[in-house]
């Protein structure tokens, strides 16, 4: 039988008190803990949209490759090269050429323990290229962990919320911030977590030119590589290619995660693609931290070596197999992910039909259907909505945690919501709208 909403508000309020963090201030993990507890106490299932985790299984190719490699007992006894196995480096360079249209040598391609480690080390290097420029400029909202990494590294950060700043306005805002002279580089994800907007070729061209003019380095987080499904990025060696700043400047570090595109999050492997220029770029400021003046060697020898000393052999073999399979051209690796697109379409429809609004869209007012979207309910501030949505059985992540300052609202991740759940979501949003409209 369908559970009526709102749920028992007294129990929801008590549980919030017990955890001691107002829902609007909850980090992803705090929100998950809160909703886990509510589900237990109330005996209900929430529509869980707060966590950005893959909802699909890993392709068997990776699992078989790992098992085969490990079964001989040899690779598990050997340290991996800390700049990555040659086969993986080559498969990555081929992948980037075929699916991004960017030419780099295998040397430039370095596996990391998730894009997480890539973001950590990229900031460590970019923030220390010049002692006078330790600030990483975030294009926000963004992936909250990157700012925690920034603090952990003892660097500084500043941010520009792109809510009201797109196109040349965004590029100008970034350039004028560079003019203060303390910015080492920028960091953003594209498609963006949490809003799912995608910076356009024109924006990336403008930003790339700023990087070149001011010797800044762009850390471009492609954790959702190719997952802008409307464009047809699945064909190797054929345009269109996903937008990237690497087309417009030589000053870049690209981060590619296997977690979402290959649903391979558990094995903790990602890829950093360092621009060829970083292998020639020397700076005295790096030496005290990395014992080398060279930017790429700082990342690899000064960074990877002293943090994880490489990526485990099994995941390297698994990811190599996946990339090689995609590179051969007869496997559309993006096809299975289209379930996220379908979910987003259905979920956005029921949100919009029930009085909610999308917060961040593209410059033309549209938003592609993908892993995330953002929502708000007119007339209810984020603080109130954060609590009210828990009464009505759905849970997103407050944008406050992602650096949104110009806009209020919530991030919804679509990956854990099944088509059957959408019916329940619709009922709960209808009730919500009846009671608040």
Ligand X SMILES: Cc1ncc(COP(=O)(O)O)c(C=O)c1O
Residue 194 Cβ vs ligand X, minimum distance, rounded to whole Å: 8
Residue 148 Cβ vs ligand X, minimum distance, rounded to whole Å: 12
DSSP string of 198-229, one letter each residue: ---HHHHHHHHHHHHHHT-EEEEEETTTT--G
Two tokens, residue 224: 């959702």
Residue in the block written with tokens 């950093």: 272
Nearer to ligand X, 116 or 137 (CB): 116
β-strand pairing of 135-140 with 270-274: unpaired
Residue 53 Cβ vs ligand X, minimum distance, rounded to whole Å: 8
Taking 3-state DSSP, the helix, strand and coil percentages for the chain, each rounded to the nearest 5, stand at 50, 15, 35
Q: 73: buried, middle or exposed (CB in 10 Å: 19+, 13-18, 0-12)?
A: exposed
Nearer to ligand X, 141 or 393 (CB): 141
- Cα angle 151, 152, 155; round to 5: 50
Residue 111 Cβ vs ligand X, minimum distance, rounded to whole Å: 11
Residue 426 Cβ vs ligand X, minimum distance, rounded to whole Å: 27
Nearer to ligand X, 140 or 324 (CB): 140
Residue 264 Cβ vs ligand X, minimum distance, rounded to whole Å: 9
Non-local (6+) Cβ contacts of 112 within 8 A are 118, 121, 255, 269, 270, 271, 272, 304, 311
**Integer angstrom CA distances of residue 426 from 65, 119, 280, 358, 429:** 42, 37, 56, 16, 5
Nearer to ligand X, 272 or 367 (CB): 272
Which residues here bind ligand X, judged by CB under 6 A? 52, 114-116, 143, 189, 193, 221, 223, 257, 259, 265, 270
Helix (H, G, I), strand (E, B) or coil at 23: helix
Residue 344 near residue 371, CB atoms below 8 Å: yes
Nearer to ligand X, 217 or 429 (CB): 217
Nearer to ligand X, 16 or 272 (CB): 272
Residue 86 Cβ vs ligand X, minimum distance, rounded to whole Å: 22
The residue sitting closest to ligand X, measured at its beta carbon, is 114
Two tokens, residue 269: 């492997």
Nearer to ligand X, 214 or 340 (CB): 340
């Amino acid at each position: 039988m369908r559970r009526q909403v709102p749920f028992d508000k007294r129990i929801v309020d008590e549980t919030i008190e017990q955890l001691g963090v107002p829902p609007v201030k909850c980090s992803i993990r705090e929100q998950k803990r809160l909703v886990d507890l509510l589900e237990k106490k109330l005996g209900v299932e929430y529509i869980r949209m707060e966590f950005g985790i893959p909802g699909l299984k890993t392709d068997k190719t990776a699992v078989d490759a790992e098992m085969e490699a490990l079964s001989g007992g040899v690779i598990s006894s050997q340290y991996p090269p800390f700049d990555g196995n040659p086969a993986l480096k080559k498969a990555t360079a081929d992948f980037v050429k075929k699916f991004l249209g960017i030419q780099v040598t295998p040397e430039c391609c370095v596996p990391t323990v998730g894009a997480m480690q890539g973001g950590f080390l990229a900031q460590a290097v970019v923030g220390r290229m010049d002692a006078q420029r330790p600030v990483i400029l975030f294009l926000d909202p963004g992936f909250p962990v990157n700012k925690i990494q920034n603090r952990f590294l003892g660097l500084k950060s500043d941010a520009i919320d792109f809510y009201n700043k797109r196109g040349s306005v965004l590029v100008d805002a970034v350039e004028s911030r560079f003019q203060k002279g303390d910015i080492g580089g920028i960091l953003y994800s594209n498609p963006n977590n949490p809003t799912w907007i995608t910076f356009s070729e024109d924006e990336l061209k403008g930003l790339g030119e700023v990087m070149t003019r001011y010797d800044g380095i762009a850390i471009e987080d492609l954790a959702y590589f190719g997952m802008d499904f409307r464009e047809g990025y699945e064909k190797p060696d054929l345009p269109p290619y996903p937008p990237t700043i690497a087309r417009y400047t030589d000053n870049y570090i690209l981060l590619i995660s296997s977690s979402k595109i290959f649903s391979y999050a558990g094995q903790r492997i990602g890829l950093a693609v360092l621009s060829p220029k970083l292998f020639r770029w020397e700076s005295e400021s790096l030496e005290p931290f990395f014992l080398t003046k060279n930017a790429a060697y700082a990342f690899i020898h000064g960074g990877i070596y002293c943090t994880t000393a490489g990526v485990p052999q099994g995941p390297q073999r698994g990811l190599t197999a996946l990339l090689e399979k995609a590179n051969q051209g007869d496997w559309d690796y993006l096809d299975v992910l289209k379930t996220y697109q379908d979910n987003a379409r259905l979920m956005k429809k029921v949100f919009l039909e029930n009085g909610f609004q999308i917060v961040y869209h593209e410059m033309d007012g549209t938003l592609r259907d993908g892993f995330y979207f953002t929502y708000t309910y007119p007339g209810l501030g984020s603080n109130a909505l954060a609590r009210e949505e828990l009464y009505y059985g759905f849970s997103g992540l407050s944008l406050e945690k992602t650096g949104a300052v110009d806009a209020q609202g919530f991030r919804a991740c679509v990956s854990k919501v099944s088509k059957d759940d959408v019916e329940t979501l619709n009922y709960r949003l209808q009730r919500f709208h009846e009671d608040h409209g």
